[in-house]
Amino acid sequence: MRKRPLGRTGLHVSRICLGTMTFGEQNSETEAHAQLDHAIERGVDFLDTAELYPIPPKAETQGGTERFIGSWLKASGHRNRVTIATKVIGRSDSRWFRDDGGTPRLDLPNITEAVEKSLRRLGTDRIDLYQIHWPDRPTAGFGSVPTRWKTPQADPDEVPIAETLAALATLVDSGKVRAIGLSNESAWGTMRFLAESDRGTGPRVQSIQNAYNLLNRTFEPALAEVALREDVGLLAYSPLAQGYLTGKYAGGARPEGSRKALFDRLQRYEKRGTAEAVDEYVALARRFDLAPATFANAFVLAQPFVTATIIGATTLAQLDACLAAEDVIWTDEMQAAVDEVHQRRGNPAP
């Protein structure tokens, strides 16, 4: 599998990253290990997880995903074959993340507790890429790149970006973290982190993990230029729009075992206009003789500001459909066809 540079770290990672948020909820430990083994055999060497996972987040399952990865690392001996990315949550009302029952925030005590717990669950002495899952400050919408601006109400005790970056610097200096990244961040937030790094406050951010797919290309207007000029590449999550771009939910279908059937948490991709856009993109995939999941991931991989597409699956068959994107030669005709639909449909699901 082809690799791409991870920011300016000197590390190179597979351009397909295995997302793991189903491990511990929809996937058992045995199934999780089977996915990891299969992905490694296909050339994937980049894993993404979070202290939040599995999804949906619950106190009784929190951290389960990292524990499953940790048990696989111990059994397989593959720690040095993979780049591990995990995340610390931003400000949250879910107080069960922290031992003292306090509000999670992006300050030194919270970040230190989070990273120590992640290291123990993963069974490793270092995290290769440590990401802020979402900002401490309120934003205009989760993902921070809405199509319409809504001014959020500021928190009086917002943790400044400089303070968060200084806290992350202590982890890098100690060797517990190799590099840092952002997630669900805006262009302004990304540039503020970079400016603070230039001042010597802390390490440079090397990546940004935001939602990006055929239904949501809001990353492009402002963040794509940042990604390219600053070498802060996109780790694109939800390339299948939580499964909608496979076509499996067409006509209101609720396949047994799907996230829609189990949790009914897919409202981001159920907004007005999304169903019609999905139908068009699925038809495009079939026109080019590709499985819709393969086509959607191939689109993401073809964009020059993308470091990796983060795939997720609950079965090995689903995993293979995503991995097949590695072998697709994305053509100008494909891009033009996608852009034509986007011109008419826009971003219905930011």
Domain with residue 138: its CATH number is 3.20.20.100
Terminal-residue alpha carbon distance, the chain:
30
Amino acid sitting at position 138: P
Residue 56 lies in a domain: yes
Residue 237 lies in a domain: yes
Report the candidate in 297, 345, 302 with the shortest Cα–Cα distance to residue 323.
Answer: 297
CA separation for the pair 247, 233 (Å, rounded) = 28
Q: Which two structure tokens, joined as six digits, stand for 44?
A: 């994937």
Residue 189 lies in a domain: yes
pLDDT for the residue 233: 98
Residue 346 lies in a domain: no
Report the candidate in 28, 91, 92 with the shortest Cα–Cα distance to residue 61.
Answer: 28
* DSSP result, 241-261: TTTGGGTTTGGG---TTSHHH
Report the candidate in 300, 282, 284 with the shortest Cα–Cα distance to residue 243.
Answer: 282
- Interval 316-332: pLDDT, tens: 999 999 999 999 999 99
pLDDT for the residue 331: 98
Q: CA dist 270 to 196, 233, 241, 261, 274, Å?
A: 38, 28, 10, 14, 6
Amino acid sitting at position 252: G
What's the whole-model pTM score?
A: 0.97
Digits of tens for pLDDT over the chain (350 positions)? 999 999 999 999 999 999 999 999 999 999 999 999 999 999 999 999 999 999 999 999 999 999 999 999 999 999 999 999 999 999 999 999 999 999 999 999 999 999 999 999 999 999 999 999 999 999 988 877 888 898 999 889 999 999 999 999 999 999 999 999 999 999 999 999 999 999 999 999 999 999 999 999 999 999 999 999 999 999 999 999 999 999 999 999 999 889 999 999 889 899 999 999 999 999 999 999 999 999 999 999 999 999 999 999 999 999 999 999 999 999 999 999 999 999 999 999 99
Q: DSSP label at 80?
A: G
- Interval 96-109: pLDDT, tens: 999 999 999 999 99
- Name the phi and psi angles at 84, rounded to 5: -105, 125
CA 102 to chain centre: 26
Strands 46-48 and 83-88: parallel
- Interval 277-301: pLDDT, tens: 999 999 999 999 999 999 999 999 9
pLDDT for the residue 238: 98
CA separation for the pair 117, 212 (Å, rounded) = 29
Provide CB contacts within 8 A for 183, sequence distance 6+: 87, 131, 132, 133, 134, 208, 209, 210, 235, 237
CA separation for the pair 256, 285 (Å, rounded) = 24
Residue 253 lies in a domain: no
Catalytic residues: 53
Q: Which two structure tokens, joined as six digits, stand for 235?
A: 């780790």
In sign, the C-alpha dihedral spanning 116, 118, 119, 121 is positive
Q: How many domains does the chain have?
A: 1
Residue 94 lies in a domain: yes
Residue 318 lies in a domain: yes
* DSSP result, 83-129: EEEEEE--S-S-GGGSTT-PPP-SSHHHHHHHHHHHHHHHT-S-EEE
Residue 119 lies in a domain: yes
pLDDT for the residue 228: 98
CA separation for the pair 254, 270 (Å, rounded) = 13
Give 46's strand partners.
83
CB-based burial label for 275 (10 Å; 0-12, 13-18, 19+): middle
Residue with token string 């949790």: 263
- Domain ranges, residue 126: 3-241+294-329
